[in-house]
């Protein structure tokens, strides 16, 4: 018949969109195949995110490709003696230990640790966490790629006081504006920190139960990153304001090893003096030879880190170790 309106189909989306109470039995699209978190056959439902209607709700384009740390203009090089660099780095790592303990004791909500990879940032934090909770029940470390949904779920699971979430070499989280907004919420300095997930996506916890749309986060977070926030904030990146907001909320520690390979070498020398190579079976004279090789070939090394040093220590046990090291560790001309 003409002149009559098509009747409105009152779906779950209709009630949510119009702020109406959802009647019992009306569930989001894609959840009807479940019964009490299980398939009809009794198989456990997967812990995944379900959209109310994927065709009707386009995915927000929030992912931004982060520039590599090396592509951001460096800071002006400050001329320092080896003694000055040594003193500076010892002081920074001493402060790092203090700040991590402050997080674990509940005196600090969020900490950002910035510095090049492979020079002891993660090891310092891992040792403190192992001493804090040998059972590993009160902390978790996130490494690699992090999606906003996984971030929300992890923060929810570790939301209680005394829990710590560590982001270690998970810089992809900085390329997603949704993730950045969540991180800013949990790093906030207000009395209470609430995290919200107000899209139509339904998030399920590890038991298959629907997670709340918001919760109060009372734990702590530690970022271990290769990014120099000061340099990034000074860049023209779209994400620079988010980095500024995170730096304003969190305690930020720059380990001051961004300028030169010389700084890295001095840091490695400190760790070797503390006994890092003792377990390799090398004597003092052999360890000195390892460090001398690194210093002599500093400009030609493909990379310089504690990992590089351990590789070289392994090669030192060979008769022709120097030739092998030149071939495997140096840039070939």
pLDDT tens-digit map of 169-226: 887 787 778 888 889 899 988 889 998 887 767 777 777 778 888 899 999 999 998 8
pLDDT of res. 230: 85
In whole angstroms, how far apart are CA 84 and each of 87, 88, 109, 175? 5, 6, 32, 36
> Could you report the per-residue pLDDT of 104-142, keeping only the tens digit for each?
999 999 999 998 888 889 999 999 999 999 999 999 998
- Identify the band that residue 49 occupies on the pLDDT scale cut at 50, 70 and 90: very low
> Could you report the per-residue pLDDT of 52-93, keeping only the tens digit for each?
333 333 344 454 555 555 555 555 566 789 999 999 999 999
Mean pLDDT of the chain: 80
Mention every residue, 6+ apart, whose C-beta is less than 8 A from residue 53: 13, 29, 200
In this model, does residue 42 exceed pLDDT 60?
Answer: no
Q: How far apart are CA 85 and CA 262, in angstroms?
A: 9
With CA atoms as reference, report the closest residue to 204 among 158, 149, 165. 149
The token duo for 112 is: 């950002």
pLDDT of res. 144: 80
Among 39-48, 79-88, 244-253, 307-316, the minimum mean pLDDT is found in 39-48
Side-chain half-sphere of 161: how many Cα atoms within 13 Å?
A: 4
Residue pair 194/216 in contact by the 8 Å Cβ criterion? yes
With CA atoms as reference, report the closest residue to 213 among 193, 227, 199, 234. 199
pLDDT of res. 1: 47
In this model, does residue 309 exceed pLDDT 90?
Answer: yes
Overall pTM surpassing 0.85 (yes/no): no
Residue pair 231/73 in contact by the 8 Å Cβ criterion? yes
Beta strands at 194-196 and 214-216: parallel, antiparallel or unpaired: antiparallel
Helices 284-296 and 306-315, packing angle to 10 deg: 120
* Structural domains in the chain plus CATH codes: 10-46 (no CATH), 80-254 (3.40.50.300), 261-329 (no CATH)
């Amino acid at each position: 018949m003409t002149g009559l309106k098509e009747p409105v189909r009152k779906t779950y989306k209709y009630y949510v969109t119009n702020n109406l109470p959802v009647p019992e039995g009306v569930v989001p699209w894609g959840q009807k195949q479940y019964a009490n978190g299980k398939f009809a056959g009794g198989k456990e439902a997967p812990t995944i995110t379900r959209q109310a209607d994927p065709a009707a709700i386009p995915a927000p384009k929030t992912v931004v490709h982060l520039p590599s740390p090396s592509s951001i203009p460096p800071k002006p090089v400050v001329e320092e003696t080896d003694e000055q660099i040594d003193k500076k780095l010892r002081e920074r790592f001493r402060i790092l230990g203090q700040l991590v303990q402050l997080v674990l004791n509940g005196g600090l909500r969020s900490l950002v640790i910035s510095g090049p990879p492979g020079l002891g940032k993660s090891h310092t934090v891992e040792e403190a966490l192992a001493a804090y909770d040998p059972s590993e029940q009160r902390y978790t470390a996130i490494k690699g790629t992090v999606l906003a949904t996984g971030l929300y779920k992890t923060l929810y699971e570790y939301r209680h006081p005394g829990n710590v979430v560590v982001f270690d070499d998970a810089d992809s989280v900085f390329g997603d504006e949704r993730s950045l907004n969540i991180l800013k919420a949990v790093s906030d300095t207000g009395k209470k920190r609430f995290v919200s997930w107000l899209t139509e996506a339904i998030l399920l916890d590890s038991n298959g139960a629907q997670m709340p749309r918001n919760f109060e986060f009372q734990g702590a977070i530690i970022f271990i990153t290769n990014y120099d926030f000061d340099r990034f904030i000074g860049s023209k990146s779209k994400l620079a304001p988010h980095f500024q907001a995170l730096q304003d909320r969190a305690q930020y520690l720059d380990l001051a090893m961004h300028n030169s390979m010389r700084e890295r070498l001095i840091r490695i020398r400190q760790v070797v003096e503390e006994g890092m190579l003792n377990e390799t079976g090398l004597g003092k004279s052999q360890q000195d030879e390892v460090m001398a090789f690194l210093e002599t070939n500093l400009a030609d090394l493909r990379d310089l880190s504690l990992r590089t040093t351990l590789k070289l220590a392994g090669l030192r046990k060979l008769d022709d170790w120097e030739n092998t090291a030149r071939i495997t560790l140096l840039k070939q001309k």
